[in-house]
A = this chain, B = another copy of it.
Amino acid sequence: VSDNAPPIDKACLAALDEADPLASFRALFDLPEGVVYLDGNSLGPLPKATRARLDEVIGREWGRDLIRSWEANGWMDLPQRVGGKIGRLIGAEPDSTIACDSTSVNLFKALAAALGLRPGRRVIVSERGNFPTDLYVAEGVAALLGAELRQAEPDAIEAALDGSVAALTLSHVNYRSGRMHDMARLTRAAHAAGALMVWDLAHSAGAVPLDLAGCAVDFAVGCGYKFLNGGPGAPGFLYVAPRHHGAAMPLTGWMGHAEPFAFAPAYRPAEGVARALVGTPQVLSLAALEVGVDIALSAEMDAVRAKSVRMAELFAALVERDCAGLGLALASPRDASARGSQVCLRHKRAGAIMRALIERGVIGDFRPPDILRFGLTPLTLRYADLGAATAALAEVARALSG
Write the residues of chain A forming the contact surface with B, with a CB cutoff of 8 angstroms: 30, 32, 35, 37, 39, 42-43, 45-46, 50-51, 54-55, 58-59, 61-64, 66-70, 75, 101-105, 108, 112, 128-129, 132-133, 135-137, 139-140, 143-145, 151, 176, 225, 231-236, 248-257, 260-267, 278-286, 288, 358, 363, 365, 367-368
Contact = CB atoms under 8 A, between A and B. Distances in A.
B251 A139 contact: no
A254 B136 contact: yes
Given A284-B232, A285-B282, A368-B263, A132 B254 contact: yes
Tally of this chain's copies:
2
Given A265-B132, A279-B101, A284-B288, A67 B51 contact: no
B46 A135 contact: no
B144 A250 contact: yes
B102 A132 contact: no
A359 to B, nearest CB: 11
A42 B67 CA distance: 7
Contact of A233 (B225, B254, B264, B283): B283
Contacts of A101: 101-102, 105, 279
Contact of A39 (B66, B151, B256): B66
A280 B102 contact: yes
A50 B98 CA distance: 27
B32 A257 contact: no
A282 B233 contact: yes
5 contacts: A43-B66, A66-B363, A104-B254, A232-B280, A263-B368
A145 to B, nearest CB: 7
Contacts of A285: 233, 282, 284-285
B45 A50 contact: no
Given A101-B279, A102-B253, 18 more contacts: A39-B67, A46-B62, A51-B55, A51-B58, A61-B232, A68-B363, A101-B101, A101-B105, A105-B278, A132-B254, A136-B267, A139-B252, A139-B266, A143-B248, A231-B283, A232-B283, A233-B282, A234-B282
